Amino acid sequence: MSRRKRRVLWVLAALGSFVLLVVGLFALNGLVLADRQTPRMRHFADMPVAPTRSAPGEVTFISYNIAKGFAHKGGVNFESREIVEAKLKRMAEVLRAEQPDVVFLSEALTELTPCDIDQVAYLARECGLPFVATGENYNLGLPFYRVVGGNAVLSRTPLTPVANFDLAGRQPFWVSKNNRRALFVSVEFGGKPVLMGALHNDSFDMRNNAVQMQQLLDFIGDRPAILAGDFNNRPKDRSIALVRDSGKFVGEFDGAPSFFEGKRAERLDYILVPAGWELIESRVIPDDTSDHRAVVGRFKVK
């Protein structure tokens, strides 16, 4: 065999080994290192807790889809850390001004190697909400170069992990688009444990969205629960009707638009609490930092 042929074979073997290594690391990250169905709990004990505007016996919630802090520009292009942090700073100002007790986040990134900032931790610290739970919807990339995102709950009081389970229609781990899980934690209100679910449901197939909602209702059963987040369903759509007709929740099932894209202005985000609680205030914050407006709900606890 000539020297030239040996050189070509060596190059091909090296390229093949490199491709196998990358594929192996990708599979390792997605199958082993991804925290698929376990809520990740954190407590930032070194930070002061922000004041609340809730009166005794009341609780104030915010639901906010932060659109990944607009860190992803498409393909393999990402914004700089400085630009994303400026966005997050504005989002934190919006949240902090409301002095909430609990914030539900959707489309929140905890890792993005090209733009290295934990969006959930940043907002928790800026808002003075030290108890944090996150649930992965996707974990895509290599162990040292990846994007990790999903739902989160920020709270001024301790949280107990419950589940971060797959919703109907979930795709294999290498598909990040429209892959959904539901993050559930438990917290005490009125001296009793209450489930809290942070949601970001199917945005493409409304029939599957309704299947997901029924799955959530079956999981909750007869337990008191709060559902908040991006339901990706309008007030008259099937999923919202399922929740309303169950008789287990109160809240504003209609209301001002919370999502804006071009000429679209739709209500997609909700905060729904156990039946028997009293809705005191519900409104949408008029700030366009994200394509979703933050929804505020203040309730009197039963």
Domain residue ranges in the chain: 1-33, 36-300
Banded model confidence at residue 126, pLDDT cuts 50, 70, 90: very high
* Residues in CB range of 85: below 8 A, 6 or more apart: 117, 122
Measured distance CA(120)–CA(81) in Å, rounded? 15
The confidence score (pLDDT) of residue 156 equals 95
pLDDT at 9 over 80: no
Contact 270, 246 (CB under 8 A): no
Percent of the chain with pLDDT over 70: 98
The SS3 assignment for 38 reads coil
The answer for residues whose C-beta is within 8 angstroms of residue 182's C-beta and 6 or more apart is: 135, 151, 163, 164, 165, 167, 197, 198, 199, 212, 216, 219
Min mean pLDDT across 17-26, 63-72, 80-89 is at 17-26
Q: Is the pLDDT of residue 6 over 90?
A: no
pLDDT-based confidence at 175, cuts 50/70/90? confident
Q: How far apart are CA 184 and CA 220, in angstroms?
A: 10
CATH match of 36-300 with 3.60.10.10: yes
Query: Could you tell me how many residues make up the chain?
Result: 302
**Residue appearing with tokens 């390229």:** 15
Whether the pLDDT of residue 193 is over 90: the answer is: yes
Q: Which of 232, 230, 269 lies closest to 251, judged by CA?
A: 269
Res 57: pLDDT: 93
Instruction: Report the predicted TM-score, pTM, of the whole model to 2 decimal places.
Output: 0.94
Structure tokens of 208?
A: 């599957």
pLDDT of residue 1: 64
Contact 103, 64 (CB under 8 A): yes
